[in-house]
Every structure is written in structure tokens, then in C-alpha cells.
Amino acid sequence: MEENKQGNIDSDIFGEVDKFLGDKEKFIRESVIGNRIINELEDFTLDVGLKKTYLCVVRDSERVFVVLGKVIENFIQAYGGTATIYPKGERICLELVTPKRAI
């Protein structure tokens, strides 16, 4: 019986974390990246975590840097965080770090 109770608690915690990350990804897609930029990127991956978000795109033209620059600008305005851009094979990636907030 105790194992079942712990399993329910774990499921609740994981469910809440998944919901939080889903909400954060939705916010980043809509507000930080934006629909227009998403349409320009075409082939990208987005990995949203509690502190860091990774956005990787195929480097198909120099326009990619302009678009990623806009994402960085939007991210910094929304979160006041930091961004790092780096190559990863045929892709260009952003590491977006959300700063700790005072409670």
C-alpha cells in the first residue's frame, strides 16, 4: 500500500513538472521565438528545461544568424537571461539560460 502511495506522489510530481515545462515551452514558442520566426526556421529543435533552453537550427543560409539574433533579443527582453550561440555539426545552436529569480 505504501509503494502505491509513493507511486502516486511521484506521478503527481512528474505530472506537475511536465505541465510546467509544457507551459514554459509554449511561452517560449509564442513570445520569445514567435510564429513568424518559427516559420522562417523551418527545421529546428527546441529543448526546454527548468533553467536552460536549447534551440538548434540547420545552417542553411546566413539569414539563420539574423533570425537567431532576434530570438536572443526577445529572450533577453523576456527573461533578462544570457545566451550562447555555438556550432554543432551542420547546426547552429543557442543555449538560453534563465537567471535565478529572488523569492
| Total residue length of the chain | 103
- Residue 103: the pLDDT is 37
> Which pLDDT tens digit goes with each residue over 82-98?
999 999 998 999 999 98
- Residue 29: the pLDDT is 78
Nearest-Å Rg of the Cα atoms of the chain is 17
Give the mean pLDDT of the chain: 81
Q: Model-level pTM?
A: 0.72
- Residue 32: the pLDDT is 74
Q: What is the DSSP letter of 99?
A: P
Q: What residue type is assigned to position 87 of the chain?
A: P
> Which pLDDT tens digit goes with each residue over 14-33?
888 788 878 887 877 777 77
- Residue 1: the pLDDT is 53
